[in-house]
Amino acid sequence: MAQKSAASLNPETHLLLDQPLLRLPHEVLRKVFKSSQKYVEQDSKKISDLAREAASKANNGASPDASLAAINTMITRMQGLKRKMETQHEEEKLVHSQLRKRTTHLNDLYSLTSLLDDGYGKWSKVRLDRLLVDYMLRNGYSESAKRLAHEKDIEGLVDINVFLQCWSIEESLRQKSTVECLAWCQDNKNALKKIKSTLEFELRLQQYIELVRSRKLSEAVIYARRHLSGNFDSHKDDFHRASCMLAFPPERPGPYKDLYAESRWDHLVKTFVTTHHNLYNIPQGPLLHVALSAGLSALKTPSCHSTLPSSRSNTASSVTSLCPICSTELNDLAIHVPYGHHTTSWVEHDLVVLPNGRVYGTRRLEDLASKLGLAAGKVKDPVTAEEWDSEEVRKVFIS
Amino acid sequence: MDAIEKELDRLVGKANLSNSLKDIDGCLELLMAARATIEADSSTAGATLSSLETQLKAGFDQTNDSLKEVYTGLNKYGKALDKKFKPVSMSDYDVLSTHQPLINRAIGMHLLREGNFDIAETFIAEADLAATIPPTLESDFRDMYRIKEALRVRDLGPAIEWAANRREQLEARGSNLEFELHRLQYVVYLFGGGEDGPRKALEYSRREFLPFQQKYLTEISKLAGALLWREKMPNSPYAELLNSGAAWSAVADSFTSEFCSLLNLAAESPLYVAATAGAIALPTLLKMTSIMKEKKTEWTSRNELPVEIPLPDRYKFHSIFVCPVSKEQTTDLNPPMMIPCGHVLAKDSLQKLSRSGNRFKCPYCPADSLPKDAREIYL
């Protein structure tokens, strides 16, 4: 009964980890919509103005050629709008098809009822591949991510483009260039304003600091006037400190050491990434971390980092398979997580203890003895390979 | 999910930019038509342009209406998402963010073991992993996949060669893989070798079964018997040998498992098992965290999870002993102790029960014993 409930699959809660799959495309669609709306607003206003102007001129005796020229200008503008909208529509269609694939993939889980289904294993493999691609993209292993996504045919289930763009901006910041990030801020101006992001101010401040660092003081002042003073009210302290640092060259930074610090660039990278992920409604860290943190703990037992060889789930004999936490891949990593909590013992049936104190299930010892072709009445310890007479084996009771 | 799909249908069906694009095309046609009219009769310029202005305004209003439909569609989709998925903060469960090199290594090894050698190569280069992955792992796994591929096309040769080279190691583990491979080869000759089959099988058995004679005597005589029964196989006691599809996959599984074990690795990708167990565990952990947050406690700082995660048996590996007295799991520092009556307690509990080495009663049975007679056992 316990086993039955432990194996039952509840898709509703099981999909918690997967909601970014549907949320990110939603944010991309909203962005597409916002841009389209902006294009239509700008161009329709311009074209309407042109039309009004042309009409009034024509009615006041302008030449037909002038009218035709005005119409041609409007047509060019209109065609421009059409092209921009077509590009947006293409992206929209792409995201729609991604969403379709994703809902289908998530829906597949609803046709399964048990964690022991083969189908669940397959589904979970796809999920792992998704998590791996996500992890690779967030850490800038872009080629690996692209290859894995391509080879496993899950390109519709991962967000390569969004993360590639994010990574390239991160890299430019690490190269101490603010241009790309500022352009991104410009692209997302309204959204950033809505969440009261200070990213753009921080970038501008950094630009200013770099001017001060290279002692281009008058340029720095002009830059501050143009780009920082607008935010005076919300950043009074920063503004004051930024002005005062003019008097302190980088060799003698005095109280402005923090502003001159190289680590400000790392801070900018972090701020950008946090802001970016917030905007796209995606988790700050890779979901692989979340899945592994939980999974390692759930699987880990006190035996996994014990100095004593466990009687079960080792590689010493063919009658057991190795515990994943004890396998080289995860063993060091799992040191850092707590082990699972258990309220009841979980042991083999008909336990016996050998003279060396090691405990095994009777069936397993019999299996091994027959596979090894031991003489009748002999048993062998599967781990230490010591051999005993069956009489030396005694029963042990664990409830 | 149905609600989300319905909203997605709306987005794909009509709440998209295609309608706005049609409206824009309409406006473009208006402009073209106006130009044609003026070109045909320049005296109409004033009137044409005036009406164009009005028509364009209507056209743009239409475009905006179409856009509004997209907006509504997106909002509805967003609401369906929110309804389906309560927003959760996952960052609470990330205790691994400072261990990127170890995670990278686990992924690198996973890709190799899954046979994704090209991706593994790219990843190992990008993440600069070469120094942390066992140097022979790739060639080992290439070997494994070469042999498995041979098995897939029903060629036992490479697997038999591999097993023969490791006979001692395999025997010490109590593995009968090598014999199983030979046995299958014999059956293949016997039933797949046509007219010549029985002769080939007989020759093969004479040549290869000798080292196994002692250990697998009954099996071997059964196989020899099959030689006589060949024609009437479906009704014979050897019928099970005919079911070779299952035999092939069993041999392949057993090969994979032995191969990984000899490398001291688990047979199934640990990364896969752990990520899957994690997904199974998360709902329980999320529930727990929300409770713990109210009580303002943290779980990551402890060495044991505060809540039990129900996992299917296939995700359980080591034996677990929970002391019936203290309800704690035993560890190296607090190991399980067996008292003379055969019952088991944690060492700490034993010491508490007996108080300064005095005789105490077993919590399970009437027997009483001295703590010095208890002995440590290893699960």
Please indicate, yes or no, whether residues A303 and A374 belong to a single structural domain of this protein.
no
Taking contacts as CB-CB distances below 8 angstroms, the residues of chain A near B175 are 318, 371
User: How confident is the prediction along chain B (379 residues), in pLDDT tens digits per residue?
Assistant: 889 999 999 999 999 999 999 999 999 999 999 999 999 998 888 899 999 999 999 999 999 999 999 999 999 999 999 998 877 766 666 778 889 999 999 999 999 999 999 999 999 999 999 999 999 999 999 999 999 999 999 899 999 999 999 999 998 888 889 999 998 898 888 877 777 888 888 899 889 988 888 888 888 888 888 777 766 666 665 666 666 677 888 899 999 999 999 998 998 999 999 999 999 998 888 888 777 777 766 655 468 888 899 899 889 999 999 999 999 999 999 999 999 999 999 999 999 988 877 899 998 899 989 988 999 999 8
Does residue A130 belong to any structural domain of this protein? no
Give a yes or no: residue A232 inside a domain.
yes
Cα B364 to Cα B372: distance, rounded to the nearest angstrom = 19
Same domain, A22 and A94: yes
Phi first, then psi, for residue B308 (nearest 5°) are -85, 135
Whether residue A43 sits in one domain with residue A76? yes
Helix (H, G, I), strand (E, B) or coil at A183: helix
Q: Are residues A195 and A259 in the same domain?
A: yes
Q: Is A95 among the domain residues? A: yes
What's the pLDDT at A2? 43
Strand arrangement of the beta sheet that strand A351-353 belongs to: A359-361, A351-353, A394-395
Give strand pairing partners of A388. Answer: A379
State whether A300 and A256 are in the same domain.
no
Number of A to B CB contacts under 8 A, please give it.
455
- Report if residue A179 sits inside a domain: yes
A91 CB neighbours in chain B (<8 A) are none
- How far is the alpha carbon of B21 from chain A, nearest alpha carbon, in Å? 7
Residue of B279, B309, B364 lying closest to A340 (CB–CB): B309
CB pair distance less than 8 Å for B283 and A47: no
Alpha helix segments (H runs only) across chain B: 2-13, 18-40, 45-84, 100-113, 117-126, 137-152, 157-165, 167-172, 177-192, 197-208, 217-229, 239-242, 244-262, 270-294, 347-354
Whether B44 and chain A come into contact, CB under 8 Å, resolves to: no
Q: pLDDT tens digits, residue range A349-359?
A: 999 999 999 99
Quickly list DSSP for B119-137: HHHHHHHHTT-TTTS-TTH
Cα distance between residue A128 and residue A145, in whole Å: 13
Q: Is A148 exposed, middle or buried (0-12, 13-18, 19+ CB in 10 A)?
A: buried
Distance CA A118, CA B177 (A): 25
What is the C-alpha separation between B232 and A63, in angstroms, rounded? 105
CA atoms within 13 A on the CB side of A253: 14
CA distance A265 to chain B (A): 20
For residue A210, the distance in angstroms to the closest alpha carbon of chain B comes to 30
Residue A263 CA: distances (Å) to CA of A83, A249, A336, A368, B97: 43, 18, 27, 60, 20
Looking from the CA of B205 toward its CB, the CA atoms found within 13 Å total 25
β-strand partners of A297: none
In a domain, A31, yes or no: yes
Residues whose CB falls within 8 Å of the CB of residue B245, separated by 6 or more in sequence, listed in order: none
Dihedral over Cα of A326, A327, A333, A337: its sign: negative
Indicate if the alpha-carbon torsion angle B146, B151, B155, B158 is positive or negative: positive
CA distance B67 to B17: 7
CA distance B194 to A117: 40
What would the DSSP string read from start to end of A42-82?
HHHHHHHHHHHHHHHHHHTT--HHHHHHHHHHHHHHHHHHH
Q: Which amino acid is at A330?
A: L
Closest CA of chain B from A101, distance in Å: 11
Which tokens in the block code for residue B188? Answer: 């293949």
Q: Which of B11, B49, B256, B349 to mutate to test the interface with A (most CBs of A within 10 A)?
A: B49
Mapping DSSP onto H, E and C, the string for A87-134 reads HHHHHHHHHHHHHHHHHHHHHHHHHCCECCCHHHHHHHHHHHHHHHHH
Check: CB of residue A16 under 8 Å from CB of residue B283. Answer: yes
Residue appearing with tokens 């008909």 = A350
User: Which residue bears the tokens 């060639």?
Assistant: B139
Rounded-to-integer distance, Cα B349 and Cα B326, Å = 6
B288 touches chain A (CB under 8 A): no
* A380 and A313 assigned to the same domain: no
**Cβ atoms of B307 and B284 closer than 8 Å:** yes
3-state secondary structure of B378: strand
- Residues of chain A with C-beta less than 8 angstroms from the C-beta of B178: none
Instruction: Tell me whether residue A302 is in a domain.
Output: yes
**B233, B191 Cβ separation under 8 angstroms:** yes
- Domain boundary at A279, A310, A325, which? A279
Distance from the B20 Cα atom to the nearest Cα atom in chain A, whole angstroms: 8
CA distance linking residue A135 with residue B108, whole number of Å: 13
Q: Give domain B321-379's CATH superfamily.
A: Zinc/RING finger domain, C3HC4 (zinc finger) (3.30.40.10)
- Residue B281 touches partner A, C-beta closer than 8 Å: yes
Given a contact cutoff of 8 angstroms between Cβ atoms, the answer to whether B206 and B221 are in contact is no
CA dihedral B177, B181, B183, B188 (to 10 degrees): 160
Measured in angstroms, the CA of A189 and the nearest CA of chain B are apart by 19
Q: Which among B6, B17, B80, B86 is positioned nearest to A29, based on CA atoms? A: B17
CB half-sphere exposure, A211, CA atoms < 13 A: 19
Classified as helix, coil or strand, B346 is: strand
At residue A352, φ and ψ (nearest 5 deg) are: -130, 155
Instruction: Quote the CA–CA distance of A297 and B277 in Å, as a whole number.
Output: 9
A96 and A193 belong to one structural domain:
no
Q: Does B105 touch chain A if contact means CB atoms closer than 8 Å?
A: yes
Residue A386 lies in a domain: yes
Q: Which long-range contacts (CB under 8 A, 24 or more apart) does A192-200 make?
A: A192/A275, A192/A279, A195/A275, A195/A278, A195/A279, A197/A275, A198/A234, A198/A235, A198/A271, A199/A271, A199/A272, A199/A275
A window 247-286, beta carbon within 8 A of B: 283-285
Report mean pLDDT in 10-residue bins for chain A, 399 residues: 68 85 94 95 95 92 90 96 97 96 94 90 96 97 97 96 96 96 94 92 94 90 87 80 85 87 94 95 91 93 85 72 89 91 91 94 89 87 89 90
Domain hosting A312: range is 289-334
Q: Kindly state the helix (H) or strand (E) to which residue B369 belongs, with its residue range.
A: strand B368-369
Q: Under a CB-based contact definition with an 8 Å cutoff, are residues A220 and A242 in contact?
A: no
Residue from the list A6, A54, A332 with its beta carbon closest to the beta carbon of B311: A6
Element (H, E) at A273: helix A263-279
Biggest alpha carbon–alpha carbon distance for chain B: 122
The tally of domains found in chain A comes to: 4
Q: Which of A165, A157, A134 is nearest to A273 (CA)?
A: A165
Spatial separation of the C-alpha atoms in residues A316 and A364, rounded to whole Å: 13
Q: Where are the domains of chain B?
A: 2-79, 102-131, 134-262, 321-379
Give the span between the Cα atoms of B292 and B288, in whole angstroms.
6
CA distances from A75 to A68, A71, A72, B58 (A): 10, 6, 5, 17
Burial per residue of A358-394, b for 16 or more beta-carbon CB atoms within 10 angstroms, e otherwise: bbbbeebbebbbebbebeeeebbbbbeeeebeeeebe
Q: Do A330 and B317 touch (CB under 8 A)?
A: no
State ipTM: 0.90
